Amino acid sequence: MAVDATMPTTVVSAAGTGTATTNKTASEKTTGIADNFQTFLTLLTTQLQHQNPMDPLDTNQFTQQLVQFAGIEQQLKSNEQLKSLVEIEKSAQATQALVYVGNTVAVEGRKAQFDKSATWNFHSEKDTSATITITNSTGQTAYSGNYTLKQGGSSFVWDGKGNDGVQWPAGTYTLTATGKDSSGNNVAISTEVQGIVDSVDLSASPPLLSIGGQRYPPPKG
């Protein structure tokens, strides 16, 4: 049968932040911009030195060119800085996700991998009479029962036995919880899956945690 526990197993709720270094791209492009700007100033100086005194060059035109060049230079620098910040953020997310490997975490979701036991966490807005239904991967009901949930957080541990006492095999099971208050009004119940993170998919953005073969986003907060 199922066991209704009031407190979940200690879980990792948040990971530490990580730091990363930027690559050479930004500095190399910034150097290129500086070289081009210096070349522009050299050409400008040469033209001013060899201008026709009877027909001097239009300084307003050069001023506009300087302003345009400075604007382009600033935009390119901003783009490179933005790219660097994005790379740092991705690196920090990967570092945070890797901290979860080997730890028990609670993540948003209803599907859990059952092997001897499966644990879900609940959060109810108020005291509620809840109906809990667990189905297998084909949609067949494995277990169903009525429970009283207190306002706040609680957990539900299923031992794999159905209402008739028959043991269900290991596999992926989905829990659905619906609640009503004393007046018969619906009460929202959020569900989390609790388990040990065995790997992290760093190719996804944000990285995804693997728990019992299922992939989940990292815990919030």
Predicted pLDDT at 54: 65
Has residue 2 got a pLDDT over 70?
Answer: no
Predicted pLDDT at 139: 94
With CA atoms as reference, report the closest residue to 195 among 135, 123, 113.
113
Residues 119 and 90 in one domain: no
Predicted pLDDT at 142: 96
Has residue 221 got a pLDDT over 70?
Answer: no
Has residue 213 got a pLDDT over 80?
Answer: no
Give, in order, the Cα–Cα distances in Å from 46 to each of 28, 32, 61, 184.
27, 21, 16, 87
Predicted pLDDT at 133: 95
Q: Which of 99, 114, 142 is the last residue of a domain?
A: 99
Residues 77 and 110 in one domain: no
Predicted pLDDT at 34: 55
Predicted pLDDT at 28: 52
Per residue in 186-201, pLDDT (tens digit) is 999 999 888 888 888 8
Residues 128 and 84 in one domain: no
In this prediction, residues 94-115 reach a mean pLDDT of 82
CA distance 148 to 146: 7
Residues 113 and 74 in one domain: no
CA distance 36 to 59: 20
What's the sign of the alpha-carbon dihedral 95, 101, 106, 109?
positive
Predicted pLDDT at 159: 94
Predicted pLDDT at 18: 36
Per residue in 119-177, pLDDT (tens digit) is 998 899 899 999 999 999 999 999 999 999 988 988 899 999 999 999 999 999 999 99
CA distance 220 to 216: 11
Residues 112 and 137 in one domain: yes
Range of the domain at 165: 102-216
Instruction: Assess contact for 114 and 173: CB atoms under 8 A.
Output: yes
Is 5 among the domain residues? no
Predicted pLDDT at 90: 64
CATH of the domain at 142: 2.60.40.4070
Q: Which of 38, 70, 99 is the last residue of a domain?
A: 99
Predicted pLDDT at 35: 63
- Give me 179's structure tokens: 């609640």
Residues 164 and 184 in one domain: yes
Residues 71 and 174 in one domain: no
Residues 114 and 91 in one domain: no
CA distance 20 to 88: 6
Q: Residues 6 or more apart from 58 whose CB is under 8 A from it?
A: none
Residues 124 and 94 in one domain: no
Give, in order, the Cα–Cα distances in Å from 41 to each of 46, 58, 60, 99, 159.
9, 15, 15, 52, 78
Q: Which of 65, 99, 133 is the last residue of a domain?
A: 99
Residues 39 and 92 in one domain: yes
Predicted pLDDT at 89: 63
Per residue in 45-100, pLDDT (tens digit) is 776 676 666 666 666 766 676 677 667 767 777 777 777 766 666 666 667 778 78
Q: What phi and psi, each to the nearest 5 degrees, are found at residue 167?
A: -80, 125
Instruction: Assess contact for 193 and 211: CB atoms under 8 A.
Output: yes
